[in-house]
Amino acid sequence: MQSQGIWSTLWRKYADYKYNKFERFAVWEMIEPYRRPKTFTALITIYVAAFYTGVIGAAVTEQLYKEKFWEEHPGKTVPLMKPLFYRGPWRVYRGEAIASDASSSQ
């Protein structure tokens, strides 16, 4: 008889646990559509920081290119710098473009 009382107590506790769990989640599911959306501030901050890091990196790279050219050719106009990470065709409308590898070997 004693063991039957323990089992019924355990089943009752388990049923209460399941019901309370369901009740908690049911309430949150009803509230969910009215919650404020998650913020994108952290993501936007990372994108802005990455963009400006790239801008500063490009400026430093171009300045080093100019200084190296001026050391070798003092007083000359610095030609446009060829893009480092772009291997496709490119054209410049105002100014002179550096000849591509394919056209310089001919």
3-state secondary structure of 41: helix
For residue 31, the model assigns a pLDDT of 82
The answer to whether 96 touches 80, Cβ cutoff 8 Å, is yes
pTM: 0.51
Q: How many CB atoms lie within 10 A of CB 98?
A: 14
**Which 8-state DSSP code applies to residue 74?**
T
Q: What is the mean pLDDT of residues 61-73?
A: 92
The answer to whether 67 touches 52, Cβ cutoff 8 Å, is no
Q: State pLDDT tens for residues 37-55.
A: 888 999 999 999 999 999 9
Q: State pLDDT tens for residues 23-39.
A: 778 778 888 888 888 88
